[in-house]
Structure 1
């Protein structure tokens, strides 16, 4: 059966603003992102795959590499330098992921028809003379609509009561209708395999992703009287969290992706899972069900030979909304490896000027698998408001449980470039953009809220500026941007700041602090000390003992 997705086609391109080259609808912009970049809140793309016209070269043999591959380096070995370059770099990642991890996602079938009502969606698909059908139920919130919608896979995902209370409809989709579990790889079943053959090498996760895309096709055709075609989210937990993750990564019309406790085969980095004690082994995830594509079987014992890893699948969602929720209490779910992948993918969000559009929360009290957790409610509400309703601010939080905190620095040897909009890049910032932020996510999520907003080196080589990320009762998260203001490359830096009485550092990332209270000096980490003229990097921290921002901010070189 034909799977190729590169059928010639035409589409309407929706206007975009701050992230050049990305086919998106701009909902709003806020100019308080790290490094002084405009933080742009973006809706879904107008098409399923805006890089379908990109020429992807044959990758050839993949060299073994124990660290995470550089998401900014093309197959031909060159690095992207402009934000517009990401479109075709993403197409390369997609191709590599299909070949080695998930199996190919076919292009849109010859015919997709169906209906949308206030209670349900029907989907009828025809491809090369073969037909299949499936359906989903619709549960609307109060109001007149049309409504944004969140597709919930398998009845397990983000809290549906919160989704509806936030003004979005719940579309309940049974993934087994398009790809059933309990079937051998040689005889897969469901609507997808009715069209493309039971021996297809495409795994269930990609089949489920295909099913979500066909639901969006029908919503688009319905005229928008019930559900909005430009405001669709997807969520799922456990195996369905894996499916939601793949669905959001491989369809750019999904405005908000929310995988929960996805475990091995989902968000957690393949290379990291292999060394995380108690996590589900790759071979187990591959053999438990045909979730992953058949080709992945040859990598389960040697993930270092994979040309991609899941931090790049995270990056495929960028710059759209992404809220990753994980459970640190069940070792099998590989939450530490999940944080590694999230931190790595967040570097692409940072480079695209959309850092606030990705959030990660694993700092939760309950260990019950797929439970509704209060710690997730606020970022869930904020994400729906921002990415599906076009109001408010994206959460932009990383709250990583201390017991499962991954160290991105141990998994990469590449720096994050400063991408431009004019065809030229400027070096690399090299700093991780996430970390454990603890506490409640409520409060201010952006902008300076007092204290010293900047301090320069008397020698004129660097400056530091402070930004409040979030605050709660008894603490806050802050971020400092270091900028090279001199005319030559900076080989190291140190920032001093003063914490008010009673406050102490609870956590700090992307720097090396001396002391935890009073006057604190933060020196660069090994990977972010070198800054080109005009280059920037950031370090972040969490403070306990009050919400008053630090003072006395000053930067020196050396």
Structure 2
């Protein structure tokens, strides 16, 4: 075992926090106020709350075609409490740095700057080297102080909606931090001025580092213009990749909103090679030095990676995450993105924060990086919940049927309940409510006995997670009401006239037309007495009428 490379800077980071003006030091933590994870675990005012965790040197990783278990530590044991997640997250972070993005150094020796009503200046010095950069600032109506969203490269979530929602817009040029069009051995930009042009760290992490330095300056300001506890980040395309990395690697970011990030972004690395038309990993690696140099050895064999992006999605938990994708451009790999979001949502669910993650790829306009009307409401609601803390809407998954991934095909691990309220085994983590339509509650429960020990059986209960014109998202919970363990289960249901089944996760669907059966996935068929499993699905066509006549059969 060894302490992570940032641990040696832990004491310095604590001293640096002590030097922050008292008004900033006493601000509430940046995580969502309603999370079930203890505040100490959410990293209040701390860029990386796991910097003191010991992480094992694992040597050469073993090849694994399915997604790694985000809950299994490097020593082979699984975590069982929310407190365990802090150091498990540190392991994932270390693996992601070592094999995917390159190292994000600890906070530099000195970060200074200023915040005015029109801009932010940043000056960084470290071990005798210095670099400076700046960002523009647009304020919404009102007197402030305001929450703010960092928009990378001028492309991200709709800035008009951000400002109309009450948040400021910080316009940050990623190329000032890490310039594209440079060879890997002679990288340029503020990051590489400090850490060397031959640094093995890729541009995405350099951009992430720059976002963190902007937050440092906001924390040190007098708080008259911007709030230090309410920063979001967004970007589209290559800048969507950067926004995703920034949110994953700085726990002070309360809301992360990557858009159409494509290969090297949110999509699972293991899924990209099998997704028709998606940008190959070798292309994403060579197009620009976005990813760290070490990733080059995995472009032809992502199964050898000891980490994948569903775990990096999980690094954002329990903070706010809104992933927006475009299913109309094959190059963007939206199917692999949906699997990453579904897998990462299992971390949110395990932490009791399932309503803090949203995913939306069900859009009509295929224009790359367009300001889509479908995203306006979820954008407003996420800003209200995580930056203004004035809303309580829950997360929602709107997966395009054209690019819907199947998480069950990619995992053989179960999801623990780290909050201590019972075992969970699946589901997207969304709760009732959401955007774009009406909500629903439990309905359509049905029971059915199965072969086996007399008295064994299961119950299937249904709820509508979200509905909209022409579709809905539902969830079915299968509960073992018998006296013996179930080795498998299946649920029959009837769709309304004109409806068809879209995507299904945590189960395998069979049947056509209105009569559909969903059986357990390979990993969630075993259900002890009194325990439950669940699966989710989308329905398209017809009216948003809930399915009915649920029957559950256990074996």
Give the TM-score range, shorter chain.
0.7 to 0.9
**SS across alignment from 1:258:** strand
- Taking the aligned partners of 1:83 and 1:181, their CA distance within structure 2 comes to 39
Question: How far apart are residue 452 of structure 1 and its match?
Answer: 4.5
- Please state whether the residue corresponding to 2:34 is helix, strand or coil: strand
Partner of 1:176: 175
Q: Quick check: 2:30–2:254 contact (8 Å CA) kept in 1?
A: no
CA contact 2:138–2:168 (8 Å) conserved in 1:
yes
Query: 2:448, 2:387 → 1: CA distance?
Result: 40
> Cα gap change, 1:241/1:557 in structure 2, threshold over 3 Å: closer, same or farther?
same
Cα separation, 2, equivalents of 1:81 and 1:526: 22
SS at match of 1:242: helix
Instruction: Please point out which of 474, 477, 480 is paired with 1:484.
Output: 480
Q: Could you state the TM-score of these two structures normalised by the residue count of structure 1?
A: 0.87
Following superposition, the deviation at residue 28 of structure 1 comes to 3.0
Residue 455 of structure 1: how far off its partner (Å): 6.0
Deviation at 1:168, TM superposition (A): 0.8
Q: Distance in 2 between matches of 1:522 and 1:282?
A: 33
Q: 2:467 aligns with which of 444, 468, 471?
A: 471
Partners in 2 of 1:520 and 1:101 — Cα distance? 41
Residue 245 of structure 1 corresponds to 244
**Superposed CA RMSD:** 3.0
In structure 2, distance between residues paired with 1:316 and 1:527: 23
Query: 1:437-469: CA deviations, max 9, x gaps?
Result: 9xx932345xx5464568686947544433331
Unaligned runs of 5+ in 1: 14-22, 30-36
| Shift in Å, 1:517 | 7.4
TM-score normalized with structure 2 length: 0.87
Pair 519,260 (structure 1): closer, same or farther in 2 beyond 3 Å: closer
Q: What SS does the corresponding residue of 2:276 show, helix, strand or coil? A: coil
User: Contact 2:427–2:536 (CA<8 Å) still a contact in 1?
Assistant: no
Q: Which residue of 2 aligns with 1:115?
A: 114
Deviations 1:55-75 (A, max 9, x none): 111122101112211111111
Give the distance between the partners of 1:283 and 1:521, measured in 2 at CA: 39
| Aligned counterparts of 2:189 and 2:359: Cα–Cα separation in 1 | 33
Q: Name the residue aligned to 1:27.
A: 33
Deviations 1:81-127 (A, max 9, x none): 22221111110000011111111000011111111111111111111
Residue 23 of structure 2 is matched in structure 1 by none
Contact kept in structure 2, 1:508 and 1:539, CA below 8 Å? no
Return the offset for 1:158.
0.6
> Which runs of no fewer than 5 residues in structure 2 stay unpaired?
19-28
Distance 1:304 1:519, change over 3 A: closer
Q: Deviation string for 1:118-145 (max 9, x for gaps)? A: 1111111111121111110110111121
1:348 corresponds in structure 2 to 347
1:539 to 508, 525, 535: 535
Q: Distance in 1 between matches of 2:223 and 2:479?
A: 47
SS of 1:285's partner is: helix
Q: Tell whether 2:14 aligns with 1:8.
A: no
Paired residue secondary structure (2:274) = coil
> 2: CA distance between counterparts of 1:222 and 1:474?
49
Question: Could you tell me how far 1:230 is from its partner in structure 2?
Answer: 1.0
Instruction: Please tell me whether residue 433 in structure 1 is matched to residue 428 in structure 2.
Output: yes
Distance 1:330 1:27, change over 3 A: same
Is the contact made by 2:31 and 2:319 (CA closer than 8 Å) also made in structure 1? no
Q: 1:43 touches 1:230 (CA, 8 Å); kept in 2?
A: no
> Structure 1 residue 256: deviation in Å?
0.8
Equivalent-residue separation in structure 1 for 2:251 and 2:313 (angstroms)? 12
Q: Which residue of 2 aligns with 1:16?
A: none
Within 1, Cα distance between the matches of 2:446 and 2:390?
A: 30
2:361 corresponds in structure 1 to 362
Q: CA deviation at 1:208?
A: 0.4
Equivalent in the alignment of 1:219: 218
Matches within 5 A, 1:46-445: 46-421=45-420, 426=423, 429=425, 431-433=426-428, 441-444=435-438
